[in-house]
A and B are shown apart, each in its own frame.
Chain A
Amino acid sequence: MPRLARSEWYDLARDMNWKVSYVEESDAWPDELSTAKGIPMEAWWGWDEPYKVSYREYVHNQAGKDASVYAVNSVVARSKMFSQLDEGWKSAILAHYGAIAAAEYLASIGESRMGRFGRAAAWRNMALYGTLDEIRHGQIQTYFPYGLLDREPRADWAHKTFHTNEWGAIAARHLFDDMFTANDAVSTAIQLTFTFETGFTNLQFLGMAADAMEVGDIDFGALISSIQTDEARHSQQGEPTMKLLIEHGHKDYAQKLVDHMFWRSWHVFALLTGLSMDYYTPLEHRSHSFKEFMDEWIVKQFLDQFRDFGLEPSWYWEDFLKETNWYHHALHLGVWFWRPTVWWNPDGGVSPAEREWLEEKYPGWNDTFGRYWDVIAENVRNGRPELTLPETFPMVCNMCQIPLCNPAGHAAGHLDSPVPLVHDHAGRRYTFCSQPCKWIFEQNPGRFQGHMSIIDRFLAGQIQPPTVPGALAYMGLSPEEMGRDATDCSWAFANGTVLTRGA
């Protein structure tokens, strides 16, 4: 290690900034990729990260982390641990691997863009570590499920998902392309690192790691903990970027970037984490409800961040808080009913004991959501699995690409109308689930208007034959891969009623 203390040489070694003279600044840092907002180059040189690390320290730390987590994986791989895990929990981690592993790898593109087009050497230095982090996260979250293939072949969706047109993959690509794969450096710092990582995933990974240890999934717990320590570091690129924008009079711009990405992040977060926490995690291991997690961690942290930077809570904040009561319950119902369209086995998770827990955590749940499950459970008990499976598709939002569950929000008393927002633009019809999703589109229609949702593709004749089986094949799902209920609907059979299989 260096003989000088890091603080004695770090700033000098890090700040390799100079004014370019052989080329124009606008050629070296094109605004499309960099977005300086007119802030002078020298001002960017004041960018200062709160968490400092040298390259040598970085490599040393990362090598240690990898040695530790791969050792756990190596030991666990020789055990029966995975096979003994709760079926619902297995669903949660299969969903996670498919949605996240390749996305982490793609995030290295966004980090690389900051590493090249960030306007300060200090920032570029941090982004280099971020790039290496995300490559590591992509690789490690592909390797771990690879080791599960002999026990769960669908673990290959960790690699496969993003190469398919499965509807969740389309939703994830749409979000992550917007957030980092096709975003400029400044917006990536605010939207990926400040909003998504600091605001959502950093906290989510802490919660998931704790939950994994609670259910006995040491492998996943070690993996997620290891990743989280990287996230905690590189997510801090957002804060100094935010400070600079605000100091130079661009608070409104920063606010708009946050408002845009907070809403988008929330919807995908509800889809993945909401279902895992409130339905897939075994009841006896649930330490909190999804709403409690949102209130105690995400909401509180964001309000603190808004206050610290002089920003306002997003204009849709009240609508967002309302959604924390109902949105993920509706998504769970949709994912379960359209379970052949996902690569994991959704756990209905509505046994009498679980319904009691849901009613306690979400007063009124039995009246608002339990009544749908009453009809479904009766069909299961009566041996009518065909009535628990889809014959058409849910409409999806043209921004978040997630099914339109407005009627559930209306029925639960949180939306004024069950009808989604229809918007005609440039000769094409778009449908949005919410005012924020429509607002995001209207802020920059050129960025979004060409995208075709899974329903748009179906109606345009891209899915042949135009049937449910044709669409499942289009999504890359073979019969063996399509989701089934994780416990063969055991939740529908209280008091020892005979199980009717087939759902």
Chain B
Amino acid sequence: MIMAPFPVQGITEGDFVVVLVPVDTEDPMTTVAEKIAHHAVNRRVPENDRPMVVRHNGRVLAADTTVVDAGVAPLDVLEVVHPS
């Protein structure tokens, strides 16, 4: 397994802007969510205790799925949301 830097376009629920986030190909979605949310939560978005999931093309990705296994392409848009 080789980790490789991988740029995605990240949106955190409740934020105002799309940000560039470097993740790794082998990051599970829990890590991806944290990496994206890091740039918004407590900066412009209040902290929220509810669990975060990653949505890709409208579909929620399993928490343990990695970036490469999920078929995410460079600069795909990943949304970090709190499922209702």
Binding site for B on A (CB under 8 A): 330, 333-334, 337, 369, 371-372, 374-376, 379, 387-388, 390-395, 403-408, 411, 418-420, 422, 429, 431, 455, 458-459
Which residues 52-78 of B sit at the A interface, judged by CB distance below 8 A?
73-77
Is the beta-carbon distance between B77 and A337 smaller than 8 angstroms?
A: no
Q: List, sorted by A's number, 13 A–B pairs whose CB atoms are closer than 8 Å.
A: A369-B16, A375-B42, A375-B45, A391-B39, A392-B39, A393-B20, A394-B18, A395-B19, A403-B17, A406-B18, A419-B77, A419-B79, A458-B20
Q: Choose among B7, B16, B21, B22 the residue with the greatest number of A CB atoms under 10 Å from its CB.
A: B16
B14 at the interface (CB under 8 A from A): yes
Is the beta-carbon distance between B45 and A407 smaller than 8 angstroms?
A: no
Is the beta-carbon distance between B44 and A405 smaller than 8 angstroms?
A: no
CB proximity of A238 to chain B, nearest CB, Å? 35
What chain B residues lie within 8 Å of A403 (beta carbons)? 17-18
CB proximity of B13 to chain A, nearest CB, Å? 8
Closest A residue, CB atoms, query B35: A392
CA–CA, A217 to B9, complex, Å?
Answer: 42
B interface residue count range (under 10 / 10 to 19 / 20 to 34 / 35 or more): 20 to 34
Interface residues of A, dominant DSSP: helix
Is the beta-carbon distance between A407 and B76 smaller than 8 angstroms?
A: no
Please judge, given known A-B contacts A418-B11, A422-B76, A431-B75, whether A375 and B19 are in contact too, CB under 8 Å. Answer: no
Is the beta-carbon distance between A422 and B75 smaller than 8 angstroms?
A: yes
Q: Choose among B44, B45, B74 the residue with the greatest number of A CB atoms under 10 Å from its CB.
A: B44
Task: Provide the B8-35 mask, 1 if CB < 8 A to any CB of A, else 0.
Answer: 0101001111111110000000000000
Other contacts beyond A337-B43, A337-B44, A405-B18: 19, CB < 8 A? A333-B44, A371-B46, A372-B16, A391-B38, A395-B9, A395-B19, A404-B9, A407-B18, A411-B16, A418-B11, A418-B18, A420-B9, A420-B18, A420-B77, A429-B73, A429-B74, A429-B75, A431-B18, A459-B75
Top 6 nearest A-B pairs (CB, nearest first) are A408-B16, A404-B18, A372-B44, A395-B18, A394-B17, A393-B20
